[in-house]
Amino acid sequence: MKNKKYFSLHAHFYQPPRENPWTGEIGLQDSAFPYDNWNHRIFMECYLPNLYGRIKNYKGEILETVNNYEYLNFNFGPTLLNWIENEYPYYYEKIIETAKRIKEKEGFSNIIAQSYNHTILPLDNFQNKVIQILWGIKDFHLRFGFYPEGFWLPEAAVNEDVLRILIDQKIKYVILAPYQIKNIRDLKTGNPVLRKDSSPCIFYDKTPQGEKIKERNIAIFPYEGELSRKAAFEDITDNSSSFASAVSSFYRENEENGLVVLASDGETYGHHKKFADLTLSHAFKYELAKRGIETISLSKYLSLYPPKNECELEPGLDKEGTAWSCSHGVRRWKGGCPCGDEGKYDTLWRVPLRSAMQWLSAVADDIYIQYAPQYFSNPQKADEEFVNILTVKEIDNFFASNLKEGADRKKAALLLDIRKYSMFIFTSCGWFFNDISRIETKQNLKYAAKISEIASQFGFKGIDRVFSSILEMARSNFKELSDGKRIYENEIVLSSMTKEKAAAYLAVITFFSAKKERSNNIFSVKLNKIEILKNKILIECDLSENICGEKNSYYIEAENSGDSPLSFKIKDLKTQETFSFEASSYPEEIQKELINYAVCMIRSENIETLERMFYSYARLPELNPKITFYNFETVVSELKVLFSQIAAVKFKFFLFDPSEDNFKKLKEICDYARKIKINASIENKPDITALMPAFCSYLYSQKPSRQEAAELCDLLSYLGLKDFLFHAENYLLELKNSREAEEKAFIN
């Protein structure tokens, strides 16, 4: 019997928590242009294309689609899934359905869990290690409905304590770099074994005396290091044939049921490497099979071929553990190594940053330990089950089983938040890159500022002073930024805001994202009444704090005056208390977002003027028939600009109210532009791309007919809105698949 060749590509899909702890929203991130934030950009470049992989002919026509998640071994970080679920619920459900279907069909799952917010587990204190792993497992079970067999360790960072906790939780396997394991020995003979492929080894827990505890074990799959490096940093993903050939080259002759594991960031396939998602689709469907290679989940392989060898862990440089992205143990996340310095930056800032975070975390833990018994019947149980709120919003059930009778739910919610943020400050990205001024580190510092704010409500005043004094030792590589203290005090602390300011901001972004309701892990907002006047938007809304359950109703005036782009007046409809503030009082990233909305207001209010100008310019060639149209270079240039502005407004009007009349108005201006041969597109900018969730909501809730969707695709193609076109094409593909399934069921 011919030996089989098995291949498993593990894709680690993850984004850190990016949400502002005062609003629950990510906000505008300039560096993600033309998208509104990095989650959205990477979703459109990677996570979504892998759900609808295209196989095309030489004309670019779609021949078939491939769901790459059916072939991958993969994990999704919980904080990323939270975002996808909120913004794109249909696609979120499709990912969940894919994993469930594979589990039901194969009997094994190709998706595994991950610790909650990507901390470096070997560096966490014991309580946080346990909670990070428990939350990751619970989050997985709540979403997918079954228990995970495997577990992805952030940055593949591991030590024996981490594996012991995973063994406690009945996890069957992890994936590590080959250089993270040592002393591979044959289970039967005890003889040393030279690693030949990615087949699993077994790790045994030991007693303090060094004796193996046979019943306490976990399998370790060592990925193929050279192949994984090539996928991440070379060009083997440029086409499917090259990719499949590269995979094939790692099988050894006469190898019995050989396994090759490629492990990499999932973002490699489409984000880091453009079109690598298409490479995977064609390779999975055709090229790997041509070479006799079968894709397999690691759970299935482990069941078919139990480990023949055992191994131990490399202890790491400081005997704290190892990771796949640091050759100095885990120093990249605590200081003492040059990883990530790009050959020119000083990374000494990492040492005081971790010291500051550890000090603040200890304060937060002390507050929880001291006050939680006053509010929770079992503080440890409440800590472990808080993820039920974060994942499936089981808020009332959580408090019914955990809150002491008569205890203040709002104060209890603050204690839960301080525990969450005391782990969020250790999200690994904060240390990964070259400077303390990076947005990833600033995000961790925002969570630190929120801890300080909550602590003050329990009587712990002034902890910011100690925290920032430690940060002062974290020197930035950029002289104008000085150090961590200056960044924290001049930027981060100023990000805080009152609930009223958060309400005004959330009401405005809900309106401008073409929604009536919006929800995140902190707030839910519902727009009850909207009135649009000249230079002004009037909104009545309800704002609910999701965890504590407190609800406020507000009347908000957002005015675009000559003095300020968007000023706000807000009245609490219960207390009748009023507040006024300018856009300039918000943090800088929110100011930029509000300015974008002010521009949108101006453009919308002047749509009739823009249209008059457009048609007046367009008639100039008609009045001068002897002159060729394109000799009117200035006119043509103006027409393109005007058309782009008008089409953007009319497209937004359609998304705000996807009526037949609004679609007709959009189509009319496009048809006229086509008639006079104006080839201009809507500029892809954050105010446009931010509307894609609303567009998808329209597609999958209002369900336009096949003909309507086809007409929409034609318009989107003409307008150059490729991302929106991708969504519309996906919708058409779903209609086609649904029709084919119905026809097949009818025949059967």
Alpha carbon separation from 323 to 331, 369, 489, 611 (Å, rounded):
9, 32, 33, 59
d(Cα 224, Cα 478) in Å, to the nearest integer? Answer: 38
Least confident of 57-71, 516-530, 562-576, 621-635: 621-635
SS3 (DSSP) at 1: coil
Strands 551-559 and 151-152: unpaired
Please check the confidence at residue 620 and state whether its pLDDT lies above 90.
no
Phi, psi at 15, each rounded to 5°? -135, 145
Which two structure tokens, joined as six digits, stand for 116? 């909650």
Cα atoms found within 13 Å of the Cα of residue 420, Cβ hemisphere only: 24
What average pLDDT does the segment 690-716 reach?
A: 96
Residue 61's H or E segment, with its range, is none
- Confidence band, pLDDT 50/70/90 cuts, at residue 411: very high
d(Cα 7, Cα 24) in Å, to the nearest integer? Answer: 40
Decide if 556 contacts 504 (C-beta within 8 A): yes
Transcribe 555-603 into DSSP letters: EEEEE--SSSS-EEEEEETTT--EEEEEGGGS-HHHHHHHHHHHHHHHH
Q: Which residues make Cβ contacts (< 8 Å) with residue 733, sequence separation at least 6?
A: 52, 62, 65
Please check the confidence at residue 311 and state whether its pLDDT lies above 60.
yes
Check residue 566 and give its pLDDT: 85
CA 343 to the chain's CA centroid: 29
Rg (C-alpha) for the chain, rounded Å, is 28
> Of 246, 198, 258, which is closest to residue 225 (Cα–Cα)?
198
Please check the confidence at residue 270 and state whether its pLDDT lies above 60.
yes
CA 621 to the chain's CA centroid: 50
d(Cα 274, Cα 49) in Å, to the nearest integer? Answer: 11
What average pLDDT does the segment 149-175 reach?
A: 98
Every domain of the chain and the residues it spans: 5-313, 334-495, 499-585, 603-747
What average pLDDT does the segment 205-231 reach?
A: 96
Decide if 130 contacts 103 (C-beta within 8 A): no
Share of residues in the chain with pLDDT > 70 (%) = 97
Check residue 391 and give its pLDDT: 86
What average pLDDT does the segment 547-564 reach?
A: 88
Q: Which carries the bigger pLDDT value, residue 140 or residue 633? A: 140
Check residue 748 and give its pLDDT: 61
What average pLDDT does the segment 321-341 reach?
A: 96
Q: What is the largest CA-CA distance in the chain?
A: 99
Q: Which residues make Cβ contacts (< 8 Å) with residue 219, sequence separation at least 6?
A: 172, 173, 174, 200, 201, 202, 203, 302, 307
In the chain the first and final C-alpha atoms are separated, in Å, by 37
What average pLDDT does the segment 374-395 reach?
A: 93
d(Cα 45, Cα 622) in Å, to the nearest integer? Answer: 44
Q: Strand locations in 34-104, DSSP E?
A: 53-56, 62-66, 73-76
CA 129 to the chain's CA centroid: 22
Which two structure tokens, joined as six digits, stand for 206? 């030991």
> Of 111, 48, 46, 31, which is closest to residue 78 (Cα–Cα)?
111
Bridge partner residues of 565 (DSSP): none
Check residue 497 and give its pLDDT: 95
Check residue 563 and give its pLDDT: 65
CATH 3.40.50 is held by the domain 499-585 = no
Decide if 465 contacts 373 (C-beta within 8 A): no
Q: Which carries the bigger pLDDT value, residue 270 or residue 621? A: 270
Say whether pTM exceeds 0.85: yes
Selected from 3.40.50.300, 3.90.110.10, 3.20.110.20, 3.30.2090.10, the CATH number assigned to the domain covering 5-313 reads 3.20.110.20
Check residue 350 and give its pLDDT: 98
What average pLDDT does the segment 265-277 reach?
A: 97
Which two structure tokens, joined as six digits, stand for 586? 């918000």
What average pLDDT does the segment 270-279 reach?
A: 96
What average pLDDT does the segment 531-545 reach?
A: 94
Residue 420 burial (10 A CB sphere; 0-12, 13-18, 19+)? buried
Please check the confidence at residue 256 and state whether its pLDDT lies above 90.
no
Burial code of 124-160, b = ≥16 C-beta within 10 A, e = fewer? beebbbbbbbbbbbbbbeebbeeebbbbbbbbbbbbe
Check residue 743 and give its pLDDT: 65
Strands 53-56 and 62-66: antiparallel
What average pLDDT does the segment 255-284 reach?
A: 96
Residue 232's H or E segment, with its range, is helix 225-233
pLDDT digits (tens, 9 = 90+) for 192-216: 998 878 999 999 999 999 999 999 9
What average pLDDT does the segment 452-469 reach?
A: 95
